[in-house]
Amino acid sequence: MSAEIRIEKPSAELYEGKRRLYCIPLLYAEKDVERDYLEKVERYWKEVEENVNKLEKTGKVNKIYHEGNHAAGEEGLRVIEKSNEKSYKLIKSYCEKGAELQPLEDRELFYEYMDWKRCLIIPFNSGKVLNKVLEFYRDASKRRCEHIAKRIDETLGKGEAGMLIMSEEDRNNIQLPRDIEIFLVHPPALADIQLWIREQLRKRDRNNLKY
């Protein structure tokens, strides 16, 4: 698997001619969630853009990949706009500067993976059924990860930089080619959001103990 790099002031000379991938954790924010969380997510995406602008000192973003997207160009932008307004705005701004939005997913495989993932939310009475669902989920996940790795490898050219927007849990399962330099985009707002989520979970657990 490619080595992961966290740097503040990248040197363009150090990465000249190499393939680079700027990895951004995908965060969602439904409009009905708490205002405090919405403000943190808004700050997160602003800091993401600032971080990517710094990373572009090693080379401008040439290719863009987004979780759940199976189409290129304008069609792909419409797919992303329906799922995540914040990442859509970020991607659109880079496309306007010349970057190309690439299809990342195989549509049917992605839907298969998501359906099995949703099945795991259901409480199971039968261990046999649970094991069977887990088997199908892991198989779909493995095939999906292999497809994504292949897509990036085939479309990210020598010396090019790509932007991958995807949940960290899923990205960590992808075995990317070793010659691709991985840059993790983890702005300060991400740590604040993770802390906020942990606090909400602790509050929920304390409330559950009262009953």
Residues 138-189: tens digit of each pLDDT: 999 999 999 999 999 999 999 999 999 999 999 999 999 999 999 999 999 9
Res. 44: pLDDT tops 60: yes
Domain parsing of the chain, residue ranges: 4-209
| Four-point Cα dihedral 143, 147, 168, 28, nearest 10 | -100
pLDDT digits (tens, 9 = 90+) for 47-68: 999 999 999 888 899 999 999 9
Kindly tell me if the per-residue pLDDT of 9 is higher than 80. no
Supply the pLDDT for residue 205.
67
Segment 78-90 mean pLDDT? 94
Nearest to 55 by CA among 24, 101, 96: 24
Residues 6+ apart with CB under 8 A from 168: 25
| Confidence band, pLDDT 50/70/90 cuts, at residue 211 | low
According to the model, what pLDDT value does residue 59 have?
83
Handedness of CA 200, 202, 205, 210 (dihedral sign): negative
How confident is the model over 87-126, as pLDDT tens digits? 999 999 999 999 999 999 999 999 999 999 999 999 999 9
